[in-house]
Amino acid sequence: MTTPQKVYFITGSTGIAAATSKLAAQAGVQVFITSRTESNCRALADEITALGGICAYHVAELTDEAAVREAVPHCVSRFGRIDALFNVAGISGRRFGDGPIHECTEAGWDITLDTNAKSMFFMCREVIQQMMEQPISDNGLRGTVLNMASVLGFSPQRKFFATHAYAASKGAIIGMSKSMAAYYAPHKIRVNVIAPSLIRTPMSQRAQENPEILEFMKEKQPLVEDLIDAEDVARAALFLLSDESRVITGDVLTVDAGWTVSG
């Protein structure tokens, strides 16, 4: 009997989300993407489809509870189940007022925590409810969740990356994910975290254009002496989403080219 194709629900449509979606589709996974920007979703879905992959999308504002509750059934209606959720969508709140705590604005704090942590709560809640209702698949699991954190949640850098609301949001994601992993393991649902450092994505455009940060990366990320490519994070994410990691849960995989061990 032919094994059904896996279904991955990925939030976000650029950067790491786009790289992971494309690699997953190339590996034969059916991909469902959602983000707030219709043009990005459509462009990514069209690219995957043109290369022979299977991809659908739904536009949603993930900080809106009702929008998330609408997005998840769209995926199930299209593909029948959800084997894995990869929560990638998030922001740097710097332009909204994030920064060192004594300078951080209330708006910067609220927007950053809502976009990075509250949206993930909404997505996890709806998708895990779906997974709990799914039969156990051939790999012995009902589903897998992978949440996006950051090394800034546990390895701060004061000179260039003093965004304390962002760090708080990423630390919250790690704590939530570990608690989820403990609770849902008996239900055959895995929950892990991936924590990158400075990656070449649209969100890191400020850093990419700052000569001081680029020089700093030669020491802080010595394996590449630069920003990390999104595809490197995507490959690590695919491992944690796939059956190759079926007995791993409650873990935080750091993808940082040496950031956390380089002072």
Query: Domain map of the chain by residue range?
Result: 7-257
What are 212-223's pLDDT values in tens digits? Answer: 999 999 999 999
Q: pLDDT tens digits for 20-48?
A: 999 999 999 999 999 999 999 999 999 99
| pTM of this prediction exceeds 0.85 | yes
How far is residue 13's CA from residue 249's CA, in Å, rounded to a whole number?
A: 26
Domain covering 7-257 in this structure, CATH number: 3.40.50.720
Question: Residue 1 pLDDT more than 60?
Answer: no
Provide the pLDDT for residue 3.
57
Q: What percent of the chain has pLDDT over 70?
A: 98
Give the residue numbers annotated as catalytic, written as ranges: 166
pLDDT tens digits along 161-184: 999 999 999 999 999 999 999 999
Q: Which residues contact 29 (CB under 8 A, 6 or more apart)?
A: 5, 6, 7, 8
Q: What is the pLDDT of residue 263?
A: 77
Q: If you ran DSSP here, which 8-state letter would residue 103 be given?
A: T
Output phi, psi for 85, to 5 deg: -115, 125
Expressed in percent and rounded to 5, the helix, strand and coil fractions of the chain are 50, 15, 35
Half-sphere exposure of 85 (CA within 13 A, CB side): 29
Cβ atoms within 10 Å of 2's Cβ, excluding its own: 4
